[in-house]
Structure 1
Amino acid sequence: MGQGSPFEDEYGYYVDAASPDLPTLPDGWEDRFVIHDFGDVRALFLELNDAAISKYARGEIRDRVWIQEGLKAKLLSMPTIDYRLRETAFLDEMEEKSVKQRIFEDKKLLNLDQET
C-alpha cells in the first residue's frame, strides 16, 4: 500500500504507515482518527493537525513542506495546531523548543502571526 504500489495506482494516494507508538502527538489523537474503508481494508488516518504536530517534531524538510502546503491550502489550521501544541507531551525540552521554533518560522514565512 506504499508509494508506487497497486493501491496507489487504484486510489490515487499511498499509505505512509506509522506506528501507534509515535511519541509526539497531542492528547486525544486516538479519538480524532479519520476512518476510511477500502473493501476489506479499514484504514485509520491521523487527523491532519495531529499529523502536523508529529511532523513538526520530526522536522524533516519534506515534513516542513507538507505542513506549509497544508497551511497554504487551508487543510491545516495554525490556531488548531497552537491549541494542540499545549496538549502535547514532548520527548524532552529540546524537542519542545525545536517544535515551537519551527512553528514560529512557518507563521513568519506564511504571514500567519495575526491568526494566533
Structure 2
Amino acid sequence: MPVYVDNMRARVGRMVMCHMVADTEHELHEMADRIGVDRRWYQYPLKSRHPHYDIGLGMRALAVAAGAIEISQREAPAITRRCLAAAGRQPLPRVAGAAHEQDASVK
C-alpha cells in the first residue's frame, strides 16, 4: 500500500506546503520517518479531520524519490478516509471554530 503526496501549494510563511497521505497510518508514519519529517507535524486529530502530514516541497521531493505517488489535491480526502477505515475509525465531525476548521483557511 503506497504513500501519496498531493499537488496543493499553500504558503505558510516562507514555506510552500503540500499534503502527504497514505492508505494506513503505519505507512504514513513510516514514510515520515524515512524522509525525516518529525511526528509533531502529524495533523490528526488535533489539527485536521483527516490523518496527514503537511510537508514542504523539499520533503515532497524526498517522498517521491522514496516511492510516494503524486496525486491531485482532490484525491487526498478519499485516501485519508481509507486510512481511517483501515484503523476502524471515521473522519471527525466538522465543528465550527475547531482548530482543524481554522487551519482549513490556510490550505
The TM-score with structure 1 as length reference comes to 0.29
Whose relative contact order is higher, 1 or 2, with alpha carbons under 8 Å and at least 6 apart?
2
The structure in which a higher percent of residues are helix is: 1
